[in-house]
Amino acid sequence: MVATNTTRATLPPDAAGPRAGHPGRRGLSPQAEGMLALLVTVSIWAAFALSARALSGSSLLPADAALLRFGVPLVVLFPALWRRRRAIAAVRPGPAVKIVCGAGVPFFLAAMHGGALTSAAFVGSIVPGMVPLFVSAIMIRRGHAAPRGTQAAGLALIAAGVAALVWRYVVPVDTDVLVGAGTLLVASGLWALYTVGLREVDLDPIGSIGLLCLPSFAVIGALVLTGVLPTGIAHAAGGDIALFLVVQGLGVGLCAGLLYAFAIRRLGAERSAVFGSLSPVAVVLLAVPLLGETPTLAVLVGVPLITAGVVLANRRPRPKVPADA
């Protein structure tokens, strides 16, 4: 799951290119291209949740996965990032801190630790699912009006879904799962901070990736070199390194952000956000064959509630048309 600054990428679908059937266009229509990009993006978001859970059984340590997550995009995008160096350096400190803290090392370590203590379904549901609620809380604190109507109902469904997920671990108390769920809530709150920060900068998706990955890679590298975080990448299995390089580095770090921005150009922000809400469902379905997880009753109740809540929370009220229009 990756968010990027789509300020420049929120054109109406028709503005993104020729219409389907245009005489000079061959292949897929813009809508089909957008749906394909979203399908790949949701798959990558699901892979992030699965990898967060799989890391606990991997020969890699969290610091190793973080090095791959933030280092690979820097290597692949280096020429493009160099051309954007002035724009990245011109970002104000406030938004930059929100972005780096919200999706950088603190978020990554929280998501990985929470996934190790819970399940892929928890990661895939709580982290992206709670973001609309946290964003709304931030906006209200800034003086914006509280959500109403379907958006308020969506936020209530999200909260109910998370409560359904953790309820069975409250009585009797399962400390590990509750700590893990709380850590995932912290990760979700950080991602909401990242989302708000992206709205405050004027960078394209590649510039946003650079702003996030450069300081994050520097921080995780410093923590590893000073011994604060242990590393085992030198002795890790080649298959584990390849898996996290593809999923975290190329998938989450690079492809998801670019593809999601592309999908928004083709389909619009609202349709993209609603389709993206299917990520928790994909995680639950994929966790069965890949990780051997069996969906519990709490998951079967909580995940649909969170998914429905995200769909409603992302709906924007239609502007009222004057009666004499």
pLDDT digit string, tens, across residues 63-86: 999 999 999 999 999 999 999 999
Nearest to residue 158, comparing CAs of 305, 315, 311, 312?
305
pTM metric for this prediction: 0.81
As given in the structure block, the two tokens for residue 86 are 């002035």
As a whole number of angstroms, the distance between CA 70 and CA 68 comes to 6
Whether residue 233 contacts residue 47, with contact meaning beta carbons closer than 8 Å, is answered with no
Q: What is the mean pLDDT of residues 26-44?
A: 84
pLDDT digits (tens, 9 = 90+) for 179-197: 999 999 999 999 889 888 8
Q: Say yes or no to pLDDT of 268 above 80.
A: no
Q: Which residues contact 183 (CB under 8 A, 6 or more apart)?
A: 110, 113, 114, 117
* % pLDDT > 70, the chain: 86
Question: Does 286 have pLDDT greater than 60?
Answer: yes
User: Exposed, middle or buried, 145 (CB in 10 Å: 0-12/13-18/19+)?
Assistant: exposed
Reported as a single tens digit per residue, the pLDDT across 100-137 is: 999 999 999 999 999 999 999 999 999 988 988 898 88
Contacts within 8 Å (CB) and 24+ apart, 232-237: 232/59, 232/60, 232/61, 232/64, 233/60, 233/61, 233/64, 233/67, 235/59, 236/58, 236/59, 236/60, 236/64, 237/58, 237/59
pLDDT band of residue 322 (cuts 50, 70, 90) is very low
Is the pLDDT at 273 greater than 70? The verdict is: no
pLDDT for residue 198: 83
Mean pLDDT of the chain: 85
- pLDDT of residue 33 exceeding 80, the answer is yes
Q: How many angstroms separate the CA atoms of 4 and 6, rounded?
A: 6
pLDDT at 278 over 80: no
Q: What is the pLDDT of residue 279?
A: 82
Of 19-33, 133-147, 200-214, give the lowest mean pLDDT range.
19-33
Encode pLDDT of 223-237 as tens digits.
Answer: 999 999 999 998 999
Cα 119 from Cα 123, distance rounded (Å):
7
d(CA 220, CA 235): 19
Q: How many CB atoms lie within 10 A of CB 216?
A: 27
Q: What are phi and psi of 194, to 5 degrees?
A: -60, -45
- Sign of CA pseudo-dihedral 46, 52, 53, 57: positive
